[in-house]
Amino acid sequence: MNKVVANASEAVRGVKSGMTLLFGGFGLCGIPENSILALRELGANNLTCVSNNAGVDDWGLGLLLQKGQIKKMVSSYVGENELFEKLFLSGQLEVELTPQGTLAEKLRAGGAGIPAFYTPTGVGTVVAEGKETKTIDGREYVLERAITGDFAFVKAWKGDKFGNLVFRKASRNFNPMVATAGKITVAEVEELVEIGELDPDSIHTPGVYINRIFQGTNYQKRIENLTVSKPA
In this predicted structure, what is the pLDDT of residue 232? 74
Q: How confident is the model at residue 223 (pLDDT cuts 50, 70, 90)?
A: confident
Residue 128 lies in a domain: no
Residue 228 lies in a domain: no
Residue 225 lies in a domain: no
In this predicted structure, what is the pLDDT of residue 79? 76
160 CB contacts (<8 Å, ≥6 apart)?
Answer: 192, 193, 194, 195, 196, 197, 198, 207
57-105: pLDDT as tens digits? 889 999 999 999 999 999 998 877 889 999 999 999 999 999 999 999 9
CB-based contact 156:2 (threshold 8 Å): no
Which residues make beta-bridge pairs with 221?
none
Residue 138 lies in a domain: no
Report the relative pairing of strands 70-75 and 47-50 from DSSP bridges.
parallel
Residue 42 lies in a domain: yes
CATH number for the domain harbouring residue 50 = 3.40.1080.10
Residue 166 lies in a domain: yes
Residue 8 lies in a domain: no
Q: 101 phi and psi, to 5 degrees?
A: -65, -35
